[in-house]
Chains A and B, each alone.
Chain A
Amino acid sequence: MFAKDNVRMAMAQAENSSPPTPHVNEMTSCKLLVVGGGVTGLTAALEAAKTGAEVVLVEKSDALGGWAAKWSKVAPHRPPYRGLQDNPVPALIEEVEANAAITVKTGTIVTHTEGMPGKFTVKLANGGDEAWEVFGAIVVATGWRPYDPAKLDYLGYGKSDDIITDIDFEALAANGGIKRKSDGKTPEIAAFIIPADDEITPFSAGVTSTIALKQAIQLVDSDPDAMAYVIYEDLRAHGTTEDFYREAQEKGVIFQKGTVKSVDADLTVTVADDLLGQDVPMSGLDMIVLSTGMVPNSTNPDLESTGKGNAQLKDDVDPTAAFAERGLKFLTQNTDEGEPAQPGGPILNLQYRQGPHIPVLANGFADSHYICFPYETRRSGIYTCGPVRKPMTMGEAMEDAQGAVLKAIQSMRASEDSASVHPRAGDLSFPKFGLDICTKCRRCTVECPFGAIDEEEGTDYPILNPTRCRRCGTCMGACPVRTISFDNYSPTMVSEMIGAVEIPDEFEEKPRILVFACENDAYPALDMAGINRQQLNSMMRFIPVRCLGSVTLLWISTALEKGYDGVMLMGCKSGDDYQCHFVKGSAMATERMSKVGETLQSLMLEEERVKVEEVSIADSGRITDLLNNFGEEVEGLGLNPFKM
């Protein structure tokens, strides 16, 4: 039965779909715009130029290099991952300036961006001079800025000239050696304090730890008689930094684990030492260096906040702010309410209906599907890399730039053919709107996670920006009159597939359960369960969907009217730590299905017949239990009274 039903479903699918004809794109550009001339932007420009692309590198300040140019020595990011390395930035700048394919524009910012991948029309403003240019893709490498040290008074900042931040330390090291500000002497004993992970700049601990290690080694290297204490709560020496940590230990840097309780003006640090179980007053220090971490430049702090689209910046670096509100709340993207905790104007000033900003997720870092698509923002064709995406060291940022550039190039090339980039790489289908019955309800334009659908000026009908589209079908699931469809994926197609299954009549007492499984995670997890020969209730029938966001309520009512006894939807995790490949698809589905109960009640059916489950690709062990338990629940409810 199962096999026959599958064949029938496949035939219904074939009958109701056609090979996709690509959207015809006019001239597309393969020129890349890199925003930000720090180490990340420089690497990105250079890597793109090496692939043959034409690059414009835009830098806000008058010189290239950014913060990274200010460091005298950097932590190792090449084998053997030991010893301080020379700063690679001056060489990078030289290389970029010598490269004919790269146009460097310093003192320039982006004041207007419209269009879509393949044809972003961008206004570059250098003071009063404005120029329009067309780009295929944009790499945003705006980097970071230091945490405001005035907020570090609880760590003693400001109490003494010799309590400095890591940025101050770098300035000392680069300009004439590490000397105390108060009396110009070289410090004999210095303490490097790494604040706890989430204390000031969340997720920065990996970077602050590396900085503290680097500066401690720098001190010991410059003066073998000097002693360096590193006081930490979490020392996160990740990856190859472990070798660097060992180097510090070998060189005599002393590590003291504990919570800093107080820092006095006479440079006495009192540490609640976890390993001794008591408070240790460390007195006699000559210098205290505070590692402060990175605040992402997801906005341009030099510009006035525009107010519009603040919901997409509804986040901050305030450590006391609640973790709950991260700009991901259902249907908030077009509201202008709420204070942006990340002050400043937009970096690209996007002319999208969702607002001018690149959406951020946690703590002001640019949003991306962190595991699978780290560089992709929620704006197709715009890629973030470097510390604007997450705190990272120079080596990591350079690697990150390479990754983002490859994605940007892929996007430009795909746009030429009107193909989707990710996750449905190469997909040529695109949503088509049946405008004859469109009610202009705007749900598709509002719910599209990528801003791919606009309202046509004058008529208010939906109009597609084809290369922004990622083909998830969230618009299709949203449309109340089911008039949005793809050539090879449509409400009718799936309805026919649902209908193709033979439902045993009520006397056979064999229930049927329909499972909509997200093709990104849930379906591969089911595959894996099959490979592992896990036993599954044979009453299940599966239909893979592009995203749970594309599931319309029509399919559920069709299934129940047809006589299915239960419907299960399997999608990715939604919320703050989402894993949905289309960012908000599964959140949309969860929201929509929360209202399905009323529909069921009006049909005199039990609410329990429809269930949404969040599964990840690693859940193959659990997935059969989920389904089997649901099968038992449905059997407990009895057969669907609508059966023929």
Chain B
Amino acid sequence: MTAQIPDQATRKYDLKFARWVRDNVPGGDKMNMCMQCGTCSGSCPNGTEMDVGPRKLFMMVRAGMKEEVLNSSTLWECTSCYRCVARCPRGVPVTYIVQGLASVAAREGYAPKIENANFANSFWWSANAFGKTDERLVTMKYFFSFGLVEGVKKALANLKIALGMVKAGRMHIGMPHKIKDTKGLQAMLKKAAEIEARD
């Protein structure tokens, strides 16, 4: 899963990347306040799963390592627990920046094919369609995003858990829950996308 950092010779550095991040990523203007103490990386419950911790990620942005930053799994491993934000002594909104970078990566086609990205897509699909997340549909969407065979395999593997949850009343059967005005929500999201697409 770990993205290999390319060799010194082939690596591209873009000294203006840091400035670009500052101007284009939400919270990027605060990234400069980072003093590289590493509290964020040390606090991250998911840090061991990441290619690089948030501290190093920020340093890579400063060094202009655009490719490595946007290809890193860090962007997708973030669970938005906000522990880094709560603990940052310099008030850097780490979570916002990491997620902002993830959205840039997705837009520019960098998103790595890792499971978390698939899950994020499934989650987004449900939120978009119903205004809420439906556990069953999100899970199914996520399982089958790996292909039909893989999806059936994953679903069967989790069958026992699902049945147990139904039995315990933790998962309902029937039509998915929806918010009252899904049309309105979709109109809002459409408008938001339109605003974002503006220069």
Q: Do A and B share a complex?
A: yes
Interface residues of A (CB under 8 A from B): 189, 227, 229, 246, 249-250, 252-257, 273, 275-276, 278-285
B13 touches A282 (CB 8 A): yes
B59 touches A189 (CB 8 A): no
- The yes or no answer to B16 lying at the interface (CB within 8 A) is yes
B53-106 CB contacts (< 8 Å) to partner A: 55-56, 59-60, 62-64
Interface residues of B (CB under 8 A from A): 8, 13, 15-16, 18-19, 22, 29, 32-33, 36, 55-56, 59-60, 62-64
Closest residue of A by beta carbon distance from B34: A249
Given contacts A189-B16, A227-B15, A276-B59, contact A257 B32 (CB under 8 A): no
Q: Given the complex, which residues of A lie within 8 Å of B8, measured CB to CB? A: 278-279, 281
Q: Given the complex, which residues of B lie within 8 Å of A246, measured CB to CB? A: 33
Q: How far is the CA of A254 from the CA of B60 in the complex (A)?
A: 12
Q: Given the complex, which residues of A lie within 8 Å of B29, measured CB to CB? A: 252
Q: How far is the CA of A595 from the CA of B62 in the complex (A)?
A: 61
Q: Given the complex, which residues of B lie within 8 Å of A189, measured CB to CB? A: 15-16
Given contacts A250-B32, A285-B15, contact A275 B59 (CB under 8 A): yes
Closest residue of A by beta carbon distance from B52: A276
| Distance of A497 from chain B, by nearest CB (Å) | 58
Q: Given the complex, which residues of B lie within 8 Å of A229, measured CB to CB? A: 15
User: What secondary structure prevails in chain B residues at the interface with A?
Assistant: helix
Q: How far is the CA of A282 from the CA of B16 in the complex (A)?
A: 11
Closest residue of A by beta carbon distance from B62: A254
- Selected from B13, B36, B64, the residue in CB contact (under 8 A) with A275 is B36
Q: Given the complex, which residues of B lie within 8 Å of A254, measured CB to CB? A: 18, 32, 62
- Selected from A250, A279, A280, A282, the residue in CB contact (under 8 A) with B33 is A250
B13 touches A256 (CB 8 A): no
Which residue, A189, A252, A273, A279, has most C-beta atoms of chain B within 10 A? A252
| Distance of B64 from chain A, by nearest CB (Å) | 7
| Distance of B72 from chain A, by nearest CB (Å) | 13
The 3 closest A-B pairs by CB, nearest first: A280-B63, A275-B59, A249-B32
| Distance of B86 from chain A, by nearest CB (Å) | 21
Q: How far is the CA of A125 from the CA of B199 in the complex (A)?
A: 71
| Distance of A246 from chain B, by nearest CB (Å) | 7
Q: Given the complex, which residues of A lie within 8 Å of B59, measured CB to CB? A: 273, 275-276
B16 touches A275 (CB 8 A): no
| Distance of B51 from chain A, by nearest CB (Å) | 13
Q: How far is the CA of A276 from the CA of B19 in the complex (A)?
A: 19
B19 touches A280 (CB 8 A): no
Which residue, B16, B32, B55, has most C-beta atoms of chain A within 10 A? B32
Q: Given the complex, which residues of A lie within 8 Å of B15, measured CB to CB? A: 189, 227, 229, 282-285
Which residue, B8, B19, B63, has most C-beta atoms of chain A within 10 A? B63
- Selected from B13, B36, B56, the residue in CB contact (under 8 A) with A281 is B13
